Amino acid sequence: MKLFKDSLFSYQNMRPPEIMRKSAPPMKSHKRARLEDNKLRLYLSTSFFLALTLLLLMGGCTNTQHARKGTKRKIFLWKVTRPSTTSTSPHFLYIYGTIHSSSLAYSGLDRAVRKVFEKADVLVVESNTESAKNISNMKAYIQKYGLYKKGETVRKSFTQTEYQNLMKRAKKLGYSPKKLAQMKPWMIALILSSTERSQRGQKSHLGKEALLAHIARKHKKDIRSLETVKAQLSLFAQLSPNMQKALLKEYTKPLYIPKERGINIEEIYFRGDLESIRLLHRGYTEQQSKEVQAFNKKLLDDRNVLMTKNIIKLFKDKKKTYFVAIGAAHLPGLKGILNLLVQQGFTLERVPSEGFIPTSAAQNKPWHTYKDTSHNISIKFPTPPAIRDITIHQKYGAIRRTVATLQFARFEMILAKWAFPNKLKESLRSNAFQQEVLNMWLKGWLKNTDGRLADIETVRFKGSTGYRVEIETKTAVQEGYLILHEGVLLQMFTTLVGTSFRGDPRKEWQKIFFQSLTLPQKPT
């Protein structure tokens, strides 16, 4: 399957020689250009290839690997059924484990979630913070229990050094130290941790509850709460001053992430990995003091019992279908809501994924132009990409690599640039050697992804030769280009995870990405 054909790339009739096409034999070496320096030739055939492979393994096209291999993706959606004793048709509702805030890259809903939710009558969340009544109650409660009385400040709860460090942190996050000092430690803990998540790109309006609430309002669905705002905030307000101080220290620490996983909580959530959610929470809890662990038991385990009771009460209304959205951390484990429901005799059926649909914010955001001024290269990404640079020093000079990456939940865009030293640039003027380098690079790409070369052809762009390739891995397809241009090797590709579906925007994103590449015209 070809990506697209237009004036950007000129497709050639010739095929690259023996490039492991499907069931073709392994790639053979073709005649090398004569190199005056035999040592350089030896270097190019051994050390150079190893250096290129090393660069690939260090991030040229590895970002997808941790998430792409393994089992099929799952979602945190369950159908909960209690067989009726008076009717032939059992009564049921749905429970959806959510993540309260999200980055743009992971913002969206699975098609299965959308389909189930559109048929539901009522959305039930932990606490509907958007209702006018709850907003009013929350303001009044914070005013009464979250702020000090006139003349008192949080200063008395900390040593001078602790207080100064806290205020520096608050100021860095954009808060007035004077105003923050009027808040009790538990309020400061909630505000600072929430703000830091937001500054890392995890926005509450991109979280699952916010997306569901938007759809519910659009379709005039009723929105209800499992808990009151007062019940949630009272857990914090009832803490002793020393406990609040300990909580502030814990809640402003970076979230524990198991090093051996090497992934973030959004990736764990996106995979639907219930066990990793449990282990993540356990690892985070084990780092805390006994006092904070006891509080988190109230915050999670004790609330699970109360929320389960309230979920069971929803079955009394047999005329409506309820869609219950609660934080995914409340679901797993012996004391999780799923197991508590099973203990009460309910049947749980996990709903399979039907394909992730990014939120319209991710689809409609203006594209960002990334410019590499050192080589006059530019390309467009939906949002600003992450940039990584590395320099490998070799006998014949430094190889400089720059990688621009944008990773969405089921889609990834990468532009990797390798700038070779002058001695290698001279050798790269040989057409035969250019093709040899492209072939070596392609071998490294296939090895690194453990993929199969599904399609390949030679293209010309700005007077330079390159390959258009399609590589299939176990759970994804990578499509893109390898281009050698003026001593610079460009590896530009996208990764599509899962099958395409109706309304899937990724193909259009892919087309815009490839068509936006600009390079300086090669001199004739």
Average confidence (pLDDT) over 207-212: 91
Q: Which residue has the higher pLDDT, 246 or 220?
A: 220
- The pLDDT-based confidence of 350 (bands split at 50, 70, 90) is very high
- The pLDDT-based confidence of 47 (bands split at 50, 70, 90) is very low
Q: Which residue has the higher pLDDT, 250 or 385?
A: 385
* pLDDT tens per residue across span 250-306: 665 554 444 434 457 888 888 888 998 888 777 767 777 777 778 888 888 899 999
- The pLDDT-based confidence of 126 (bands split at 50, 70, 90) is very high
Domain ranges within the chain, ordered by starting residue: 10-69+360-515, 77-142+202-352
Q: Please say if the pLDDT value at position 498 is more than 50.
A: yes
Burial of 391 (0-12, 13-18, 19+ CB in 10 A): exposed
371, 377 Cβ separation under 8 angstroms = yes
The pLDDT assigned to 519 comes to 83
Q: Please say if the pLDDT value at position 175 is more than 60.
A: yes
What span, in angstroms and rounded, lies between the C-alpha atoms of 434 and 438? 6
447, 26 Cβ separation under 8 angstroms = no
Average confidence (pLDDT) over 466-477: 88
Average confidence (pLDDT) over 24-31: 33
Q: Please say if the pLDDT value at position 503 is more than 80.
A: no
Closest CA to 523 of 434, 463, 461: 463
The pLDDT assigned to 524 comes to 55
- The pLDDT-based confidence of 61 (bands split at 50, 70, 90) is very low
The pLDDT assigned to 258 comes to 43
Q: Please say if the pLDDT value at position 356 is more than 70.
A: yes
**Strand, coil or helix: 184:** coil
State the residue for tokens 């070596």.
440
Q: Please say if the pLDDT value at position 107 is more than 80.
A: yes
Mean pLDDT of the chain: 77
Q: Please say if the pLDDT value at position 405 is more than 60.
A: yes
- The pLDDT-based confidence of 67 (bands split at 50, 70, 90) is very low
